[in-house]
Amino acid sequence: DIQMTQSPSSLSVSIGDRVTITCRASQSISNSLNWYQVKPGKAPKLLIYTSSTLHSGVPSRFSGSASGTDFTLTINSLQPEDFATYYCQQSYTGPRTFGQGTKVEIK
Amino acid sequence: QVQLQESGPGLLKPSETLALTCSVSGGSTRTYYWGWIRQTPGKRLEWIGNIYYGGRPYYNPSLESRVTMSLDTSKNQFSLILSSVTAADTAIYYCARETYGDPVFDNWGQGILVTVSS
């Protein structure tokens, strides 16, 4: 299986901050990398697919980029509703696998 | 907008069989893949498998020996059966719609907590 290593595991940030989360694949996955937002008791949300395409309805402060096997999720000007746990997921081949998650908390 | 809703028991004893159902509204289960994902108490997400109309299910090899999925298009539902559960199967179970091609989970249910305890 392709392993996804996500960092950091948690972040303490303030409203208006810029947040960067990184995900590294254990092998080449082309641009087959997706990002999700998960909140307790809520349905998880797809944010970005194929590494940089914003899903319909997702605010433009979210963006994604890729460099080789490294992928980045950036949240510009963090809003109160953005405090959540974020996961990457590879969709390149085999069993779908996720990163360990990054919890974004209020400082 | 497609909506998904999980249902099933919240508490099981070790060795019992878990049976969950996902009801889909606002879209047909005759298209797309339909899958299950769980979130462990340690917050790790694990893909369990998927199923699609007219095709064979695809299970995560780590769970394949204990998993069965089925699809009932007449009820617009799909189901998960996980046999011989242990405490390690305690998790929030989500159902989700998975797109064709590059598998992306574009719609999810809100999840159901399943606890395995004697």
Strand partners, B39: B45, B92
Contact A55 B108 (CB under 8 A): no
Tell me: the pLDDT tens digits for A19-77?
999 999 999 999 999 999 999 999 999 999 999 999 999 999 999 999 999 999 999 99
Q: Is A54 on the interface with B (CB under 8 A)?
A: no
Q: In the structure, what pLDDT confidence band is assigned to residue B101 with cuts at 50, 70 and 90?
A: confident
Q: Which residue of A has its CA nearest to B108?
A: A43
Listed residue (B33, B59, B57) closest to B46, CA to CA: B59
Question: What does the pLDDT average to over B56-65?
Answer: 97
Residue holding tokens 């878990």?
B18
The mean predicted confidence, pLDDT, of chain B is 97
| B100 has a pLDDT exceeding 90 | no
Question: Burial of B15 by CB count in 10 Å (0-12 exposed, 13-18 middle, 19+ buried)?
Answer: exposed
Of B43, B102, B109, the CB nearest to A101: B43
Contact between residue B93 and residue B110 where contact means Cβ atoms under 8 Å apart: no
Sequence-ordered list of residues with C-beta below 8 angstroms from that of B98, at least 6 positions apart, any chain: B32, B33, B34, B35, B50, B104, B105, B106
pLDDT for position A9: 97
Residue type, B8: G
Write out chain A residues lying below 8 Å of B61, CB-based.
1, 95
